[in-house]
Amino acid sequence: MKLQLHTEAFDHMGDPNPECLRMIGRIININPEDDKLNEFNIGLLNLDEENQNGVYKIKLNMSELQSYSIFEGEIVVVEGFNDAALTKLNVVRMHKPVPIMPQSHIKFEDLKLVT
């Protein structure tokens, strides 16, 4: 994802930063009493490989996005601003990884017909 988004690093959850943050994580249901994911229980579980302080979860406010489609467990990068209480991230942009297809070094001519 860093390569696809041309970035060196992602921001850390919990940083009291007034700037726009870019975080990578897994979509989670932050309210285990709700069976289905909805606009009130969307959260992000951090996936920052440099995180030394444990696992962080943050509620996502997706109301600024015109439309979105997500599922629980999906890996996304969100950009947004912390609210004043640092209890949720107001998302202004969301990115999803583009699958990278493996490249084969085998030429078509080198393939044998298997019967």
Record the pTM: 0.71
Q: Which of 51, 49, 31 is nearest to 41 (CA)?
A: 31
CATH of 2-95, one of 3.40.630.30, 3.60.15.10, 2.40.50.140, 3.40.50.800: 2.40.50.140
Higher pLDDT, 54 or 34: 34
Rounded CA separation 46/36 (Å):
21
Residue 70 — pLDDT band, cuts 50, 70, 90? very high
Q: At residue 91, what are phi and psi to the nearest 5 degrees?
A: -80, 130
Contacts of 94 (CB under 8 A, 6+ apart): 62, 65, 68, 70, 76, 77, 78, 79
Residue that the structure tokens 């493996």 belong to? 102
Higher pLDDT, 115 or 100: 100
Higher pLDDT, 71 or 14: 71
Q: Are 10 and 82 in contact (CB under 8 A)?
A: no
Judged against a pLDDT cut of 90, whether residue 98 lies above it is answered with no
Opening angle at CA 82, ends 17 and 51, nearest 5: 65
